[in-house]
Every structure is written in structure tokens, then in C-alpha cells.
Structure 1
Amino acid sequence: MASRRRLKKDIDYLCFEVISDCYNYNYLHPENREQVMDIIKDTIIARNNLIARVNHPDGKDNPKMVKAYYKSIFNDLIKNVDESFTRLSTLIKEK
């Protein structure tokens, strides 16, 4: 990652894309409201946890540890977003 600022922007962008897709689906199919809201809640919790992890890095003295730490945050971000989109796509396929 180039900077913490850019990583935070990536976290916000990807999480809000999931949330906006959930709201679009919820607008078109209001009968699955509870399941969609669960996806949104999980995404918001994951976003807040990731932002907190970015703000408090471990091993500030060792550059290799810092790089591995931020890489793990980015990998967790991708994993969480992929999981949320997968859950939303299963709801879409049920329709």
C-alpha cells in the first residue's frame, strides 16, 4: 500500500459499494429486507474494524512487519467484500 490514507479510502469505497448494491437490491425486492440488512450490518462492522486496525499498526520499528501488517489488512478487506458480495448474489439467485 502506498499510504494509510489511500488504504482507508479503498476500505470506504469497497464497503460502500457493497452497501449501495444492497440498498439497490432492497429497493427492488423488499421481501428480503432482514437478510439484506444483515449483510449491511456485517459490512459496516468489518469496515469499522479495518479502519481501527489501520489507525493502530503493530511493530512500528520493523518495516517488514509493518508492510506485512498492512498487507494482511488489505487481504482481509478483499475477503470481507467478496464474502458480502457472495451473500448478496445468493439472494439474487434465489429470485
Structure 2
Amino acid sequence: MGSIRRLKKDINYLTDEIVQHSLLINLLYKDNDDEIKKVIETAMENRNDLIKRVNIRNQSKSEYKQIREDLIAKTDKAFEELSKLTEK
């Protein structure tokens, strides 16, 4: 397990990737504005939730591991939603 700072950087990096891909898909597929907005809003809400969870003091390593697993799961879900939007 890396440091808390590294975990926060990973959360921010993956959220930025979701937003960037969403905006790119929005440029390429103009008819998905509402769905793209929903994906971006969900990504930002997930980011805020994960950062709040990381900032809680005196957590065990297993709690940080769970936060990392949640980050990966939520990121995968967001990219799956974006992938479905490009298939339409």
C-alpha cells in the first residue's frame, strides 16, 4: 500500500481521465449531452466521497485497501458507461 498522498493523487488522476474522455466523446457524439453530463457528475461525486473517506484519520490498512478497490470499481463502471454511449 502506498501513501495517503499517492492514493489522493490516484483518485484525482482517474477522475480527470473520466472527465477528459467524457468531453472527448461529447465532441465526437453530439447527441449524448445528458448522458455525458450524468457520467461527469457521478465521477465528481465519487471523487468527493473517496477523498472524504481518505481524509478520516486513524484508519487501518484494510480500510485504505477498500477505498482503492472502490476507486477501481467506480472507474471501471464509468468507463463502461462511456463505452456504451459510443455504441449508440
Q: Give the alignment's TM-score, normalised by structure 1.
A: 0.89
Q: Aligned equivalents of 2:35 and 2:54: distance in 1?
A: 29
Residue 46 of structure 1: how far off its partner (Å)? 0.2
Structure 1 gap segments, 5+ residues each: none
Counterparts of 1:1-95 in structure 2 under 5 Å?
A: 1-57=1-57, 60=58, 66-94=60-88
d(CA) in 2 for partners of 1:40 and 1:13?
14
Which of structures 1 and 2 has the larger relative contact order (alpha carbons within 8 angstroms, sep 6+)? 2
AA aligned to 1:66 is: S
Tell me the alpha carbon deviations over residues 8-67 of structure 1, each in whole angstroms, 9 at most, x when there is no partner: 00000011101100000101112110000000000000000000000014xx2xxxx611
Contact 2:29 2:86 survives alignment (8 Å): no
Percentage of identical aligned residues: 40
**Alignment RMSD, CA only?**
1.0
The separation in 1 between residues aligned to 2:87 and 2:62, in whole angstroms, is 37
Count, aligned residues: 88
Question: Structure 1 residue runs of 4+, over 6 Å off?
Answer: none
Structure 2: 5+ residue stretches without partners? none
